[in-house]
Amino acid sequence: MKRRLAPAKVNLCLHVTGLRSDGYHLLDSLVCFADFGDYVSLTPAAETVLTVTGPRAEGVPTDGRNLILKAHEFFGEAPEVAIELEKNLPAASGIGGGSADAAATLRLLSDLTGRPVVENTARLGADIPVCLQDNAVRMQGVGEVLTPIVGLPQMDAILVNPLKGVSTPEVFKALVHKKNAPMSHCPQGGSLSEFLNWLDQQRNDLEPIAKELVPEIEDVLDSLSAAALARMSGSGATCFGIYADRPSATKAAAKIAADHPGWWVQQVRLN
């Protein structure tokens, strides 16, 4: 049996810089990864089946709609495997979920067969190439132009989701300003406060629209007001708060979870 973490991806900022003639939006985003996520395991079997377990399994498809099975198909002549997905990340929440699971599946199949992960994974989903990365990366184009960013500080953070799913296509459809400025040059190798000063000047251009679709996002951001920086990830509704140190993050996570028992609250380390 082979098992892998499919980490949550967090868009520390996400600028929409243009629209391609085929309708895809051009993005400029700084993406990092959490030390928390789903787990995907593969065991050689007579036929390929997917089972989904874990606290956030409800409603996740186990048939061909699941990106894990699409990734298995996409790998090409993949061996038959029993796949178990331990679902810890809320679905449709802007932190990668299905794309992270698909990327983990491709890497597990690569480990199992000794064949490299196939190219052009963007055809499987715009977020798959970025989820195949291990470390922070600047994502441009429609998600396929990736530049590693080294020297980001380790960040103690909380992820908070009001458990309201957001449809990514719906958010992009409602976008009015499609040609915003790209992110400015990211400082690498500096202190946390220097990095956060820079990050504070960047944006998530999808946040205003997602807030209109899901007003609870405003409440989530309010709950993170004690953080050094709080913002929405991806197309939402998950927001992250970055804290000065681990004890501050732990204290804030406990308070938010107690004040909002219906929300998903997870302390993480981002890098």
Which is closer to ligand ATP, CB of 50 or CB of 228?
A: 50
Q: In whole angstroms, what is the distance from residue 81 CA to residue 73 CA?
A: 12
Which is closer to ligand ATP, CB of 93 or CB of 204?
A: 93
The CB-of-68 to ligand ATP minimum distance in angstroms stands at: 5
The CB-of-70 to ligand ATP minimum distance in angstroms stands at: 8
Structure letter (DSSP) for residue 95: S
| Chain contacts with ligand ATP (rule: CB under 6 A) | 60-61, 65-68, 91-99, 101, 127, 165, 168, 234-235
E strands, 47-205, are 49-53, 81-86, 137-141, 145-148, 155-161
Candidate list 9, 101, 164, 205, residue with the active-site label: 9
Is 127 a catalytic site residue? yes
The CB-of-114 to ligand ATP minimum distance in angstroms stands at: 25
Q: In whole angstroms, what is the distance from residue 130 CA to residue 188 CA?
A: 19
Is 9 a catalytic site residue? yes
Given a contact cutoff of 8 angstroms between Cβ atoms, the answer to whether 270 and 157 are in contact is: yes
E strands, 20-75, are 25-44, 49-53
Given a contact cutoff of 8 angstroms between Cβ atoms, the answer to whether 84 and 108 are in contact is: no
Which is closer to ligand ATP, CB of 165 or CB of 208?
A: 165
The CB-of-245 to ligand ATP minimum distance in angstroms stands at: 27
Which is closer to ligand ATP, CB of 101 or CB of 205?
A: 101
The residues annotated as belonging to the active site are 9, 127
